Amino acid sequence: MFAGHLAAGLVLKKMERRINLGWLFFAALFHDFLLGILVLLGLEQIHIPANFAQTHYLTFTFPYSHGLTASIIWSLLGFGITYAVLPRWSTKERKQAGLAIALAVFSHFVLDWFVHIPEMPLLGENSPKLGLSLWNNTRNWSRHVLDFPTLFDLRTGILVRPKGEVTR
Ligand SMILES: [Zn+2]
């Protein structure tokens, strides 16, 4: 899904050309950066399910980084910070830049919602959870396209999986 998040940043770069692409990438990946920090702090958890060898996906307890309400708050914060740090731009330009960053942040929730199992809470950990389980319900080929560690070699058209595993 890493590639999907970066693609969202690229699309928004077309919409708002004045913003550095690096900031859009950062915004599009913000949820996962935050997850990493919160896991280190012990506030969120990454679980390795018992059937990981078959499913190849991890499960998560991540209400603060990946919840719907949290995502809206992070997006609004992204708008506010972007607006605040560009005092030399016109009000219209600051709003557009803030909107692009906010959309980049929220795009992470939308894309993750497609692929995660229902584990993305509406609010806190005990609230209803969202997730369309694309990773769970798709055949291997689509996992190759969506999975972070998969690399597509443009010259050969070969999908390279981790540990040297190669599929066509
Ligand atoms: Zn994520």
% of the chain with per-residue pLDDT over 70: 82
Does any domain span residue 41?
A: yes
Per-residue pLDDT averaged across 12-18, rounded? Answer: 94
pTM across the whole model: 0.79
Q: Determine the distance separating the centroid of ligand 1 and the alpha carbon of 120, expressed in angstroms.
A: 10
Is 115 part of a structural domain of the chain?
yes
CA distances from 21 to 15, 18, 25, 95 (A): 11, 9, 6, 17
132-162 tens-digit pLDDT: 988 777 644 455 454 444 444 444 445 444 4
The pLDDT, as a whole number, for residue 51 is: 87
Total domains in the chain come to 1
State the pLDDT at residue 54: 83
Domain of residue 75 covers 2-137
Question: What is the pLDDT averaged over residues 33-45?
Answer: 97
CA of residue 21 to ligand 1 center, whole Å: 19
Determine the distance separating the centroid of ligand 1 and the alpha carbon of 89, expressed in angstroms: 31
- pLDDT tens for 79-110 read 999 999 999 999 999 999 999 999 999 999 99
Domain-located, residue 142:
no
pLDDT at 138 (0 to 100): 62
Q: Is the pLDDT of residue 121 over 80?
A: yes
- Determine the Cα–Cα distance for residues 18 and 31; give it in Å rounded to an integer: 23
Dist CA 98 CA 68 (whole Å):
19
Ligand 1 center to 2 CA (angstroms): 8
User: So what's the pLDDT on residue 32?
Assistant: 97
C-alpha 90 – ligand 1 centre gap (Å): 33
Top pLDDT among 3 and 152 is at 3
With respect to residue 104, please indicate whether it lies within any of the assigned structural domains: yes
Q: Judge whether 158 lies within some domain.
A: no
Q: Is residue 150 part of a domain?
A: no
Q: Are 60 and 45 in contact (CB under 8 A)?
A: yes
147 is a domain residue: no
